[in-house]
Structure 1
Amino acid sequence: MDDLTSITESASILELGAAALRNLLGEDWEVTVEPEEAPAPQGADVGWDGAIRVLSRHSNVFTRLLVDVRTRVTPKDVAGHVLPKALLVRRVNHYTRVMVFAPWISPKTQEELRRREIDYLDLTGNISLRVTNPAIIIHTQGADRAPASHRTPSTKPMLTGPRAGRLVRLLADVKPPYRATELAKSAGISVPYVSKLLDSLEEQLLIERDNKVVARVDWQALLRTRASSLDLAHHGNPRGMLAPMGIPAVIERLARVDGFVAGNEVLVTGSYAARSIAPIAVGGQLMLYTVHRDEASMTRLTHELNLLAVPEAADVLLLAPWDQSVWHRPAHYDRYWQVGLSQLVLDCLSGPGRMPAEGERVLEFMADNEDFWRLDDLEQASRSRPFNSGTGPQELF
């Protein structure tokens, strides 16, 4: 984008943002874009792209917003570029605030801006503004995903797809430090892919690196971000089943049947798995991952568990894992095997009904017991084989 195009786009975003504020505040307020007192030298960055004056017609008191217009803003931008400007302005004048305007601001970036007490507005309706005098409090929600018209081309991979899923689970399950080459080897994916994804995660403040070494992982935010791109009902390709003798009877069979079921081919996930860690409700569907999807294997499985296929009103769902990472680090609770904690969080947060709330409770448990479940190094993770590798499950606790 050349300088002229950039200036024109910034001016447009500034005017549209001012109009949005004007509509929200109504006739009792006057919102005007102030003209620049003196043009900045070519190529100079004065710290903001314009100023907006917000006047209360009743009290005749006004506040001034210094607007930092960005066509794209990330959590890393907030910490590295926007925050220093805001801190400087606060030291100089307590009644003037820095406000970020952008076509769209991601939920993670919004969270970072609010945490830093920086106001923001995007053109989809995500707005947060808190002014003491005159008293203004605005918080509205717009799009949680970038509209197609505002999406910028990127060569960086996103947190979607099986490869990203493998890396996310590895980053969550294993404490740093580690390098991209070590992560790639452990996850069985290419070094260039891992390097690009780590760049993207660093930009979103989901990881921190010291030179080329991952030094910190915000594993809770990482799992939430990954889950936001998933839909368990879609990705799991569920088959609905009815348990004629009730779900407790199915669990009993899971606990005592050897070989096909108990050995290495079925894992419990969803509400029943979450309940073993952080119970908040009863009932719900029993969700089971199974490796085989051909008719002969499914017939054998449903016979072993005494299940009947039904078109609706299912109380048991058989899910297809869309990547082998689903089987990594399974856990044994009570009398049966279930998915590992990080996989359980991903499934619950991307599931229907009350499952996201159950996922949050599992996250709380994990945060309180991090030394209990998180591995110390990647070598330990490499010994946790998937169920279908022929080595059998390994107990987590």
Structure 2
Amino acid sequence: MKIPNLEQEAFAALRACLQEIPFVQVELLEKESEKEQKSPEFQATLKLPTHDVPLVVDVKPNGQPLQARSSANKLFRSVGAIPGAYGVFIAPYISPRSAEICTQEDIGYVDLAGNCRLCFGQVYIQKEGKPNPFNEKRDLRSLYSPKAERILRVLLNSPQKAWKVQDLSVEAAVSLGQVSNIKKLLASRELIKTSPDGFWLREPCLLLSDFRQHYDYRRHQVFDFYSLKSVGEIEATLAQTCSDAGIRYALTGFSGAARYAPVVRYQRVMAYVADGVEKLALKLNLKAVNSGANVSLLQPYDEGVFYQAQDIDGTQVVSPIQLYLDLYQMRGRGEEAAQALLEQVIMPQW
């Protein structure tokens, strides 16, 4: 029987999921009509010692939440027409959010990475935590490119606001096409809601968590220095010097956390500087060092880091969203400081 390659792999993954149960066998049913042969859905029979269970399997090349919900709706109709049948969604990789949707909709799921959950009658199998081994780089490059990150920052800073594509394009300083593309990617992950008034974030925490996982502050160019002055003196001098010279800057890291949600003592000043880092260092009498630095100046890979920077007591500080992203990856209790910022500042604003 000739089957599309993805369908072959899907059936193999289903068998692999069930092979640990000695009393279970699974057989693939022939597709009889031309319509069935073209359909990504196939049927199988699960043979148990006491009876057979018809399986209706929907295979999709994408396991994002939107596809998982679509599959659940489709399987609901198909399973309803076959007494005693059980629906299974199969995709190359099924994200935790998609898995949650399948569980809520009472269908099974299997992916080619090895994650699965089948629950019916005497059968209960669940395997989770397998990472995505497949290439998602194209989508991720689109969703977490510098220009795309500008859009995400705007959405996360105003998660309840309904945005028109045109307005969001202006606010994020990106093209209409870029906003439309990001809107599609977010919709496929069920991260936005839409109405005639525009679109807004469904669950900002999920987007922020995903953003955090794909963000790397080390992409910025980092310059390390040493100063004999105290942290407070360095920060005050930095702020005054940049203000006088018209240099765009904003504190981040623990320097920023101390202004929003101070929970960690720190000994290193950290700030973004738009350009002219080396000239600024000369004005501040900073000495470049390879180790033992107490000042880190970051030249950002994109000016989006400055979006919604706040003036706190005369000093520019990055937005809580940007600060959270930076803090989470920092050693020396950075994750703890990020969590405090999330709980004390970000979530109350949402």
The answer to whether TM tops 0.5 is yes
Equivalent residue number for residue 290 of structure 1: 273
SS at match of 2:117: strand
Q: Work out the CA distance in 1 between the residues paired with 2:223 and 2:51.
A: 63
Equivalent residue number for residue 342 of structure 1: 321
2:4 counterpart (2, 8, 30): 8
The answer as to 2:225 corresponding to 1:238 is no
TM-score, normalization: structure 2?
0.80
SS at match of 1:67: strand
Give the Å deviation of 1:310. 2.0
Equivalent residue number for residue 253 of structure 1: 234
SS at match of 1:172: helix
Equivalent residue number for residue 192 of structure 1: 177
2:4 corresponds to which letter in structure 1? T
The answer as to 2:65 corresponding to 1:75 is yes
Q: Work out the CA distance in 1 between the residues paired with 2:82 and 2:339.
A: 40
Give the Å deviation of 1:350. 5.1
Contact 1:76 1:203 in 2 (8 A): yes
1:161 corresponds to which letter in structure 2? S
Q: Work out the CA distance in 1 between the residues paired with 2:228 and 2:92.
A: 53
2:232 corresponds to which letter in structure 1? I
Equivalent residue number for residue 43 of structure 2: 50
Contact 1:172 1:217 in 2 (8 A): no
Equivalent residue number for residue 134 of structure 2: 147
The answer as to 2:115 corresponding to 1:134 is no
Q: Structure 2: which 5+ residue stretches go unaligned?
A: none
Contact 1:327 1:339 in 2 (8 A): yes
Give the Å deviation of 1:204. 1.6
2:129 corresponds to which letter in structure 1? Q
Q: Work out the CA distance in 2 between the residues paired with 1:95 and 1:333.
A: 64
Distance 1:91 1:12, change over 3 A: closer
Q: Work out the CA distance in 2 between the residues paired with 1:87 and 1:243.
A: 66
Range 235-244 or range 107-116, more displaced: 107-116
Distance 1:137 1:97, change over 3 A: same
Equivalent residue number for residue 189 of structure 2: 204
Give the Å deviation of 1:138. 1.9
The answer as to 2:163 corresponding to 1:178 is yes
2:108 corresponds to which letter in structure 1? D
1:16 corresponds to which letter in structure 2? A
Equivalent residue number for residue 18 of structure 1: 14
Contact 1:223 1:345 in 2 (8 A): no
Distance 1:46 1:165, change over 3 A: closer
Equivalent residue number for residue 322 of structure 1: 301
The answer as to 2:347 corresponding to 1:359 is no
The answer as to 2:287 corresponding to 1:273 is no
Give the Å deviation of 1:135. 5.6
The answer as to 2:78 corresponding to 1:99 is no
Give the Å deviation of 1:173. 2.0
SS at match of 1:337: strand
1:163 counterpart (136, 139, 147): 147
Give the Å deviation of 1:182. 1.4
Q: Work out the CA distance in 2 between the residues paired with 1:348 and 1:272.
A: 10
* Deviation string, structure 1 residues 346-383 (Cα, Å, up to 9, x no partner): 32345557534543443333554226xxxxxxxxxxxx
Contact 1:241 1:308 in 2 (8 A): yes
Q: Work out the CA distance in 2 between the residues paired with 1:116 and 1:353.
A: 42
* Deviation string, structure 1 residues 109-132 (Cα, Å, up to 9, x no partner): 34544555543222223x131526
1:329 corresponds to which letter in structure 2? Q
Give the Å deviation of 1:93. 9.2
Give the Å deviation of 1:105. 2.9
Distance 1:38 1:121, change over 3 A: closer
Q: Structure 1: which 5+ residue stretches go unaligned?
A: 372-397
Distance 1:179 1:239, change over 3 A: same
Contact 2:26 2:45 in 1 (8 A): yes
Distance 1:269 1:110, change over 3 A: farther
SS at match of 1:288: strand
Contact 1:15 1:33 in 2 (8 A): no
SS at match of 1:141: coil
Equivalent residue number for residue 124 of structure 1: 113
Equivalent residue number for residue 198 of structure 2: 213
* Deviation string, structure 1 residues 302-352 (Cα, Å, up to 9, x no partner): x2xxx4322134343221122222112222446743211121223234555
Range 166-175 or range 36-45, more displaced: 36-45
Identity, % of aligned positions: 22
Contact 2:224 2:294 in 1 (8 A): yes
Aligned length: 347
The answer as to 2:307 corresponding to 1:308 is no
Task: Give the root-mean-square deviation of aligned CA atoms.
Answer: 3.8
SS at match of 2:275: coil
2:282 corresponds to which letter in structure 1? T
Distance 1:258 1:285, change over 3 A: closer
SS at match of 1:131: strand
TM-score, normalization: structure 1?
0.72
Q: Work out the CA distance in 1 between the residues paired with 2:206 and 2:291.
A: 35
